[in-house]
């Protein structure tokens, strides 16, 4: 399959290893993947902050950059949800751009969704000797991702999967939410970290760089030796 990588802002700046792991994994599985260099932010920060006109400009740029017929893969449930769910909403009053938004939405997939739903792949030959727990990132709900990542985790050789209490509870990041409401955000991530530590896992897995940044930062501040790993990074462990 011919694929294009949407790296995402946080993936580019804060979690490049997840993006690199995504590329290595998909190439190892026999797929061709390119990287449109003119890609920028998908517009989600503007959209979530109420700047719909600015979000539309970012969305138009993204739609142009990823025009064509390649399937688009992104190691981020939040950016996938922005394109698949919110782009069509942004252009409801513009028939031309609405059609283009729907077309891109139809061929854009979060990594786990691409592997399980589109490619039918569960076992990628990954190995991790230790205990894993899983944080279900909020935006995965919006794109119907329940169960996909767990199927991939269950096929990681050597790993013991430990259930996480309140696994689908928000970690408190939420992009600008953590900046606007820091006390609420901190209370939420403290609760998430408490649940993670209780599992005695060696690593916590998630699909979004924002969640991993927020959870990882709090784990470090509390001196907890739990590793944070993006799903792509885990699936590249051999």
117: tokens are 């739903």
Pairing of strands 2-5, 32-34: parallel
Q: What is the mean pLDDT of residues 37-61?
A: 94
CATH 3.40.50 boundaries in the chain? 123-235
Q: Is the pLDDT of residue 236 over 80?
A: yes
Strand partners, 34: 4
The CATH code for residues 123-235 is 3.40.50
138: tokens are 């909020």
Q: Is the pLDDT of residue 140 over 90?
A: no
Percent of the chain with pLDDT over 70: 100
Per-residue model confidence (pLDDT) at position 168: 87
Burial of 176-185, coded b for 16+ CB within 10 Å and e otherwise, reads eebeeeeeeb
| DSSP state letter for 197 | H
Residue 150: is it exposed, middle or buried by C-beta count within 10 angstroms (0-12/13-18/19+)? Answer: middle
Q: Is the pLDDT of residue 14 over 90?
A: no
Mean of the per-residue pLDDT values of the chain: 94
Per-residue model confidence (pLDDT) at position 112: 94
Q: Is the pLDDT of residue 176 over 80?
A: no
Q: What angle, 0 to 180 degrees and rounded to 10, lies between the N-to-C axes of helices 182-199 and 209-221?
A: 80
Residue-wise pLDDT for 189-207, tens only, equals 999 999 999 999 999 999 9
Q: What is the largest CA-CA distance in the chain?
A: 53
Alpha helices in 77-230 (DSSP H): 77-81, 87-90, 95-106, 111-113, 139-142, 148-153, 177-180, 182-199, 209-221
Q: How far is CA 219 from CA 8, 90, 183, in A?
A: 24, 37, 17
Per-residue model confidence (pLDDT) at position 118: 93
Contact assessment for residue 201 and residue 133, using Cβ atoms and an 8 Å cutoff: yes
Q: What is the mean pLDDT of residues 39-63?
A: 95
Q: Give the contacts of 230 (CB within 8 A, at least 6 positions apart).
A: 15, 17, 18, 21, 75, 205, 206, 207, 209, 212
Contact assessment for residue 55 and residue 46, using Cβ atoms and an 8 Å cutoff: yes
Place of tokens 């430990």: 162
């Amino acid at each position: 399959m011919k694929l294009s990588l949407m790296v995402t802002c946080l993936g580019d700046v804060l979690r490049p290893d997840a993006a690199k792991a995504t590329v290595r994994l998909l190439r190892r599985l026999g797929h061709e993947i390119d990287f449109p260099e003119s890609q920028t932010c998908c517009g989600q920060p503007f959209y979530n902050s109420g700047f719909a006109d600015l979000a539309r400009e970012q969305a138009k740029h993204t739609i142009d950059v990823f025009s064509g017929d390649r399937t688009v893969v992104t190691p981020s449930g939040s950016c996938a949800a922005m394109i698949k769910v919110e782009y069509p909403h942004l252009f409801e009053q513009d028939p031309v751009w609405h059609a283009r938004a729907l077309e891109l939405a139809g061929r854009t997939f979060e990594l786990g969704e691409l592997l399980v739903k589109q490619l039918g792949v569960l076992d990628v030959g990954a190995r991790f000797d230790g205990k894993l727990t899983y944080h279900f990132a909020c935006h995965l709900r919006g794109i119907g991702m329940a169960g996909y990542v767990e199927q991939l985790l269950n096929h990681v050789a050597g790993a013991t999967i430990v259930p996480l209490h309140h696994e689908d509870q928000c970690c408190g990041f939420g992009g600008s939410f953590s900046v606007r409401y820091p006390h609420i955000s901190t209370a939420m991530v403290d609760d998430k970290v408490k649940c993670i530590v209780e599992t005695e896992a060696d690593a916590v897995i998630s699909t979004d760089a924002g969640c991993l940044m927020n959870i990882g930062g709090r784990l470090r501040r509390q001196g907890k030796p739990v590793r944070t790993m993006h799903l792509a990074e885990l699936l590249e462990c051999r």
